[in-house]
């Protein structure tokens, strides 16, 4: 999930909404996806669609339409999708039609969540195709924090950019833990020795141990991620360091350490400042 979050951050650097995913087969990452709705001006180009359409495209470069994503030769039941935000209703339906094996997501999607928050497309018995498991709450606060960094920015594409005032994400609390990760799922994910999840605690990779982003992700992890650098640009040590500073630590009790100061992503704000300077000069 840390890798998916970093892809989301790279998407943010590219002026996209920071929602991203990876697709794994066993321990191997076989595809990645990130929201591509702003640059493409196409509201359906969600991270999940990008990730799975690539799987088919790489098999046969002539096949690029969406129908061909439902390729019989790919055993989607063996794949796991890690996505920073709960799939929307559209994507949940897509994933069910593909026959995805399992979905693990970060934060809930309060407006359009398709795997439990608004609709439960993943397990609705009235729908065709097999149900799939969807587990939420993994790196939940980090996924929210990335989105907050996006939404505090000004929309420089707007004809008259609005400067958003009084938006402060420092020490802004996170909504209550709403993970649907059950004890058995937790053990399946983190091993038999892991203790059950406690209510109102963030998930930590190792029970009774806190974590910070720099403990989850290194440059080495990112260098092997397919498609990432080709599509979203080179990864620099400075970017990784900035990425770390966007998030709060989680302590050993699964609580957010609000005392630690966090940085805010500032690219668009800088752009707006430059525009402001340009206007003054004119
Ligand atoms: Zn979606």
User: How far, in Å, is the centroid of ligand 1 from the Cα of 92?
Assistant: 7
pLDDT of residue 195: 63
156 or 171: which leads in pLDDT: 171
User: How far, in Å, is the centroid of ligand 1 from the Cα of 83?
Assistant: 10
Q: Pick from 72, 79, 75, 27: which is nearest to 48 by CA?
A: 79
User: How far, in Å, is the centroid of ligand 1 from the Cα of 129?
Assistant: 19
In order of 39, 124, 222, the CA distances from 15 in angstroms are: 8, 35, 20
Q: What is the pLDDT of residues 162-182, one digit of tens each?
A: 555 546 677 688 988 877 776
43 or 59: which leads in pLDDT: 43
pLDDT of residue 218 exceeding 80, the answer is: yes
pLDDT of residue 259: 86
pLDDT of residue 172: 80
Cα distance between residue 27 and residue 194, in whole Å: 20
Across the range 229-249, mean pLDDT stands at: 94
Q: What is the pLDDT of residues 66-116, one digit of tens each?
A: 444 444 578 999 999 999 999 999 999 999 999 999 999 999 999 999 999
User: How far, in Å, is the centroid of ligand 1 from the Cα of 88?
Assistant: 4
- Token representation of residue 253: 């009790």
User: How far, in Å, is the centroid of ligand 1 from the Cα of 46?
Assistant: 5
pLDDT of residue 65: 44
Annotated catalytic residues are 48
Q: What is the pLDDT of residues 26-56, one digit of tens each?
A: 999 999 999 988 888 888 899 999 999 988 7
Give the pTM. 0.85
At how many degrees (to 10) do helices 237-245 and 2-13 cross?
Answer: 110
pLDDT of residue 164: 57
User: How far, in Å, is the centroid of ligand 1 from the Cα of 132?
Assistant: 16
| Residue 237 banded pLDDT, cuts 50, 70, 90 | very high
Written in H, E and C, the secondary structure of the chain is CHHHHHHHHHHHHCCCCCCEEEEEECCEEEEEEECCHHHHCCCCCCHHHHHHHHHHHHHCCCCCCHHHHCCCCCCHHHEEEEEEECCEHHHHHHHHHHCCCEEEEEECCCCCECECCCCECCCCCCCCCCCCEEEECCCHHHHHHHHHHHHCCCCCCCCCCCCCCCCCCCCCCCCCCCCCCCHHHHHHHHCCCCCCCCCCCCCCCCCCCCECHHHHCCHHHHHCCCCHHHHHCCCCHHHHHHHHHCCCEECCCCCEECCCCCCCCCHHHHHHHHHHHHHHHC
pLDDT of residue 151 exceeding 80, the answer is: yes
237 or 43: which leads in pLDDT: 237
Percent of the chain, pLDDT > 90? 56
| Residue 279 banded pLDDT, cuts 50, 70, 90 | very low
| Residue 263 banded pLDDT, cuts 50, 70, 90 | confident
Q: What is the pLDDT of residues 179-195, one digit of tens each?
A: 777 667 777 777 766 66
pLDDT of residue 270 exceeding 50, the answer is: no
């Amino acid at each position: 999930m840390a890798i998916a979050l970093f892809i989301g951050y790279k998407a943010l650097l590219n002026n996209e909404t920071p929602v991203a995913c990876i697709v794994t087969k066993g321990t191997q990452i076989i595809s990645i996806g990130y929201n591509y709705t702003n640059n493409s001006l196409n509201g359906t180009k969600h991270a999940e669609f990008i990730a799975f359409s690539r799987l088919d495209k790489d098999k046969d470069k002539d096949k690029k339409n969406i129908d061909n994503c439902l390729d019989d030769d790919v055993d989607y039941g063996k794949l796991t999708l890690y996505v920073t935000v709960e799939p929307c209703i559209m994507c949940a339906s897509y994933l069910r039609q593909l026959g995805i094996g399992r979905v693990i997501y970060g934060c809930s999607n309060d407006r359009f969540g398709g795997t439990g928050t608004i609709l439960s497309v993943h397990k609705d018995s009235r729908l065709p195709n097999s149900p799939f498991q969807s587990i939420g709450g993994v790196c939940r606060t980090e996924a929210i924090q990335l989105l907050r960094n996006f939404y505090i920015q000004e929309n420089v594409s707007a004809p008259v950019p609005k400067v958003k005032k009084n938006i402060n994400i420092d020490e802004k609390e996170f909504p209550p833990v709403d993970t649907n990760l059950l004890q058995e799922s937790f053990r399946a994910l983190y091993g038999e020795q892991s203790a059950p999840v406690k209510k109102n605690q963030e998930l930590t990779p190792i029970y009774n141990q806190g974590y910070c982003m720099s403990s989850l992700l290194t440059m080495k992890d990112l260098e092997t991620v397919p498609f990432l650098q080709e599509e979203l640009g080179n990864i620099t040590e400075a970017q990784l360091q900035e990425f770390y500073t966007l998030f709060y630590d989680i302590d050993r009790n699964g609580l957010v350490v609000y005392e630690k100061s966090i940085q805010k992503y500032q690219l668009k704000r800088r752009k707006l400042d430059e525009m402001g300077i340009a206007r003054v000069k004119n």
